[in-house]
Amino acid sequence: MLPEQGDNSLPSEVHPVDQVLPLGKMLIYGLQHVLVMYAGAIAVPLIIGKAVGFTNEQIILLISTDLVICGCGTILQSIGIGRWIGSRLPIVQGCTFAALVPMTLIGQQYGIGGISGAVIVAGIFTLLCAPLVCKLVRFFPKVVMGSIVTLIGLSILPVAGGWIGGGDVQMPGFGSYGSLAMAAFTLIVIMLIYIFCHGMWKNIAVLIGIIVGTVVYGLVLKLDLSLVAATGWLALPYPMRFAVPEFHLATAVLMSMVMIVVMVETMSSMMAMGEICERPADRDTLKRGLFACGTATVVGGFFNMFPYAAFAQNVGLVGLTGVRSRFIVGVAGGILIVMGLFPKLAALVVAVPKPVLGGAGIVMFGMVVVSGIRTLGQVDYRNNNNPMVVALTLGVGMLPVLVPQIFQQMPAAAGMFLHSGITIGTAVAIVANILLNGEKAQNTQVNIPGCEACKLEEKKE
């Protein structure tokens, strides 16, 4: 069970995921989610914009449009549309890094139009394949689920490390005393609030830490606000603003292959969130979640945007705060849309220093690891091969993280899969569990007492 950190002001019969908090609280919690995912959300359009030769003004418009699609995708995922689309878990949607390298290659050859056409086809591919891919849930017993969630947390911890150093390991002065000190200061502020405060103040410890850290950073070091001054106030997105989508067989196949990776990673994040929220993601939940990803990707393609997936960063935030309402994430989606429409607000968030985000990221991403360890703690390791399943998942899955060059001699197509530790680890966990545990490998149960979703899934099987 999670600590009682969530908002308990509503009736106990309402599941924490379905609680609707007062608007003021949801706005504050939602802003916290936005700050956590923002750096990752703008990174992909920033890199792709530079790769296809966009001007700074065009890149700002690209980022603004991306934020609007991120917001719409997040609302689609967390709130959903009936029984058809959306996992209805507190999942934040954003541009996936899994497609970054292929999109860069496509963009250099065919431009933004070639990327858009490939993204549209990849989104349709996701919608068609979702009912089949989600059936993999039968191969996720506790030993597999716990291993994958732990791997997700360990895999994204280096992101926080990069932020702590200043953002880019290639930049001059990476890992300076000032960056390390500000990251440590932010972390200390978060810990003090987490230890000595209660209720809502404790739940927004990350938000307060980021705000205080940014203010102190601006006083001690130099806060760059030049982008804020140079950015306009209003930007209304519209389809095909930058180019008409172009469709090429090779690019469509390439991006569809990437979406297999994206689907696996998204399912892993949804199952991790389900564990944290004590609402396990069954087959129907995963299918609806993949439909949300596919829909956001198709729509994004017409707006010259990119593939969208669940953001693992925000899984850690939910685990840290214990506030599990999906409507808070829906509000976060609304904030993203507003920031996209008013890019000066988006530029203001860009000004948050990377070391400050890194100090907060250490705690949030570490909480994902804790969630996985908690699940692994419920696994029976006696007289079975479960220890080997865990060892192989973590050992192989961490290789691309610890030694990024390990697969550099492999073909480019294989590299798309091999450079993702989460994807490799998920595949290894499933295969190892099937080979080593035989008939016991198929188990959709997470066995949380009173979990109706688990009982329903058992009947389906």
Of 51, 429, 414, nearest in space to 257 by CA: 414
Q: Does the residue 359 lie in any domain?
A: yes
Q: How far apart are CA 221 and CA 241, in angstroms?
A: 38
Residue type, 100: L
Using CB atoms within 10 Å of the CB of residue 266, give its burial: 0 to 12 exposed, 13 to 18 middle, 19+ buried. Answer: buried
DSSP 174: T
- Per the model's pLDDT, the better-predicted residue between 153 and 71 turns out to be 71
Residue 294 CB neighbours (<10 A): 26
Model pTM?
0.71
Q: Does the residue 193 lie in any domain?
A: yes
How do residues 398-445 score in pLDDT, each as one tens digit? 988 888 888 888 876 676 567 767 778 888 888 899 898 875 655 534
Domain residues for the domain of 186 are 16-142+160-364
Q: How far apart are CA 183 and CA 211, in angstroms?
A: 13
Q: Determine the average pLDDT of the residues in 185-208.
A: 84
Q: Does the residue 150 lie in any domain?
A: no
Q: Does the residue 327 lie in any domain?
A: yes
DSSP string, 235-280: ----TTSS------HHHHHHHHHHHHHHHHHHHHHHHHHHHHHT--
Q: Determine the average pLDDT of the residues in 247-271.
A: 83
pLDDT, residue 12, reads: 52
Of 429, 461, 427, 425, nearest in space to 443 by CA: 461
pLDDT, residue 154, reads: 85
Q: Does the residue 438 lie in any domain?
A: no
Q: Does the residue 248 lie in any domain?
A: yes
pLDDT, residue 452, reads: 38
Q: How far apart are CA 346 and CA 336, in angstroms?
A: 8
Average pLDDT of every residue of the chain: 82
pLDDT, residue 413, reads: 63
Q: Does the residue 37 lie in any domain?
A: yes
Q: Does the residue 418 lie in any domain?
A: no
Number of domains in the chain: 1
Token output for 353: 């220093």
pLDDT, residue 446, reads: 40
